[in-house]
Amino acid sequence: MMTFIILFCSITILAACHFTYKSAAKLNGNLLLGVTLPKYEPESPEVIEIVSAFRKALNLHSTIGAAAHIPILLVLWFSYISVFLILYMLWCVFYMGGCMYLYKKYFLKLYNLKKEKKWFNGEKLHITVIDSQVSAAKDQMPLTAWWFLPAFLICLIPLLFPGGLTFFRSGIGGSFLFLLPFLLKLLFLILYYIFAKRRTITYSNDTELNMACNKMTKRSWSICWILIAFIDSLSFLALDWILISDGFQSTFLFTVYILIQSLCIFILLYSVSYIRKKRIYLLSADKEPIMVDEDDYWITGAYNNPNDHSLLAPSRYGSNISFNMAHPAGRIITGGLYIFTAVLCIWLSIVFLRFDFVPFDLQLNGDNVSITAAEYDIQFPLSAVVDIQLTDQAPQGTYYKNNGVNAQQYFLGNFKYKEYGQCQMYYYRDYTPVIKIKTDQYTVFFNTKDSEKTEEIYRMLKEAVKSRQHVLPL
**Is it the case that residue 247 has pLDDT exceeding 70?**
no
Pick from 469, 472, 456, 470: nearest CA to 364: 456
Look up residue 418 and give its amino acid.
Answer: K
Residue 127's pLDDT is 44
- Look at the pTM and tell me if it is higher than 0.85: no
Residue 133's pLDDT is 67
Sign of CA dihedral 62, 344, 333, 266: positive
Which one of 46-55, 170-179, 209-218, 287-296 scores highest in mean pLDDT?
46-55
Q: How far is CA 461 from the centre of its chain?
A: 44
Residue 126's pLDDT is 43
Indicate the pLDDT class of residue 147, thresholds 50, 70 and 90.
Answer: very high
∠17-21-25 over CA atoms, to 5°? 155
Alpha-carbon dihedral 225, 229, 230, 233, rounded to 10 degrees: 170
Pick from 313, 307, 298: nearest CA to 126: 307
Summarised one tens digit per residue, pLDDT across range 404-440 is: 788 888 999 888 887 888 889 999 988 989 999 999 8
- Domain positions in the chain: 359-467
Q: What average pLDDT does range 32-61 have in this prediction?
A: 89
Instruction: Name the burial class of residue 393, with classes exposed (0-12), middle (13-18) and buried (19+) by CB atoms within 10 angstroms of its CB.
Output: exposed
Q: What average pLDDT does range 342-361 have in this prediction?
A: 90
Contacts of 293 (CB under 8 A, 6+ apart): 36, 120, 122, 123, 124, 125
Indicate the pLDDT class of residue 170, thresholds 50, 70 and 90.
Answer: low
Q: How far apart are the first and last CA of the chain?
A: 36
Indicate the pLDDT class of residue 107, thresholds 50, 70 and 90.
Answer: very high
Contacts of 152 (CB under 8 A, 6+ apart): 182, 185, 233
Q: How far is it, in rounded angstroms, from Cα 125 to Cα 108? A: 20
Cis peptide before 328 (omega within 30 of 0): no
Indicate the pLDDT class of residue 329, thresholds 50, 70 and 90.
Answer: confident
- DSSP 8-state class, residue 147: G
- DSSP 8-state class, residue 389: E
Is 277 or 95 the better-scoring residue by pLDDT? Answer: 95
Averaged pLDDT score across all residues of the chain: 83
Summarised one tens digit per residue, pLDDT across range 189-203 is: 988 888 887 777 777
Q: Say if residues 16 and 82 touch (Cβ distance below 8 Å).
A: no
Summarised one tens digit per residue, pLDDT across range 365-410 is: 888 899 998 888 899 988 888 889 898 887 887 777 767 788 888 9
Pick from 78, 128, 257: nearest CA to 181: 257
Question: From the CB of residue 76, how many other CB atoms can be counted at a distance below 10 Å?
Answer: 20
